[in-house]
Amino acid sequence: MAAHYYDADGNWTTSGILLDHNNFTTYVTPSAIGAMPAYPGSIELIPGASSNIGGFIDFHFNNSSSDYTSRIIEYDSGVLSVNEHAYVRLGTVTGGIWNGSAIPVANGGTGATDRVGAWRGINSLGTNPISTNATDTTTEWGNLGPGMAWYDTASLLNQQPSTWGILLNYTYGSDIFQIWNAQNGGPTYLRSGNASGWNNGWRQVLDTFNFTSIVTPAAIGAVTSSSLAKVATSGNYNDLTNKPTIPTTMAWGSITGKPTFATVATSGNYNDLSNKPATFAPSTHTHPISEINNIIIATSKPTTVTNGALLFVYSN
């Protein structure tokens, strides 16, 4: 039956229908009163144009009286947050490429929608992430975790090798290992440390490009040919300096350190010999006739002895 009533403006109307137990379920439906059906085919959340969110769903575990135990909320268009941590972005994957907005690295995403950007987003530690000598510690680098940092300002790190450079930070627990490569193609440096601090400062890595500039004679305590005297390589007496003056003649009496000579050494006199024999007993021997003086030529057989010698020389 028709219902007669005054509307909100005070006007008398007959457009309503009086409800009773026979027609109640016909007119009082979930959609009519803005309620959700017991088994909805879809749910649409429309919080309003000025709400700055796309709506949210709250869960109350074990009938909890808290505001919620879990919440799904749309903070940005196409971005769902689960309990303020996990983020889901709407998009599609076509040919292995993500077509949609990127999830920030801080929220567990890669910060990019392609592989290269994703790698940079995850791997990058930013520019000058440690910016004072005091905070350049193994603890701070361990807190940053593994990754690559870009430096463009000098002296931010202890013994910083160069103004511009790429720093690779590797961490395993409290152990830190770092590689520094100068931006201008300069040398590579290494350093490492642990929970006790840095084991050493930056150490330059030797290679074929910097070997000769680092491994110098002075660095290893060696000398070069340019630092040697000329005689070292020529071996020539004339290349000696401060050579002594050597006299061409010298009086015997001016010579020092002489041995003590016997008198005969300078006299040459037989009489100056000591321990001369009194006699010279000859032994049996022969002489050629040319060595015999005062030969007497006999004309017959020798019958006499002349000067103690028998003559056996015959003349025909």
Contact present, 36 and 30 (Cβ < 8 Å) = yes
Q: Compute the distance between CA of residue 177 and CA of residue 153 in angstroms, rounded to an integer.
A: 21
> Dihedral angle at the C-alpha atoms of 75, 80, 81, 85, nearest 10 degrees?
-120
Q: Compute the distance between CA of residue 234 and CA of residue 219 in angstroms, rounded to an integer.
A: 27
Contact present, 123 and 147 (Cβ < 8 Å) = yes
- What are 248-279's pLDDT values in tens digits? 887 877 788 888 888 888 888 888 888 888 88
The answer to whether the predicted template modeling score (pTM) of the entire model surpasses 0.85 is no
Q: Identify the pLDDT of residue 197.
A: 95
Q: Identify the pLDDT of residue 159.
A: 96
- What tokens does 174 get? 């409290």
Contact present, 313 and 297 (Cβ < 8 Å) = yes
Token look-up 């013994």 returns: 159
Please give the average pLDDT of every successive group of 10 residues along the chain, which has 316 residues.
56 64 73 71 81 90 94 83 70 63 71 76 91 96 94 97 96 94 87 95 84 74 79 87 83 80 85 84 81 69 56 49
DSSP 225-249: GGGS-THHHH--GGG-SSPPPPPS-
* Nearby residues of 199 by Cβ (< 8 Å), 6 or more positions away: 191, 192, 193
Q: Compute the distance between CA of residue 220 and CA of residue 117 in angstroms, rounded to an integer.
A: 47
Q: Identify the pLDDT of residue 316.
A: 46
* Of 141, 151, 150, 147, residue with least CA distance to 123: 147
- What tokens does 93 get? 């994957």
Q: Which residues pair with 58 in a beta bridge?
A: 71
Computed over every residue of the chain, the mean pLDDT equals 80
Q: Identify the pLDDT of residue 252.
A: 73
- What tokens does 194 get? 């642990």
- What tokens does 192 get? 């490492």
Q: Compute the distance between CA of residue 114 and CA of residue 314 in angstroms, rounded to an integer.
A: 141
Per-residue burial over 193-207, b if 16 or more Cβ lie within 10 Å, else e, is: beeeebeeebeeeee
Q: Compute the distance between CA of residue 88 and CA of residue 81 in angstroms, rounded to an integer.
A: 6
At residue 84, what are phi and psi to the nearest 5 degrees?
70, 5
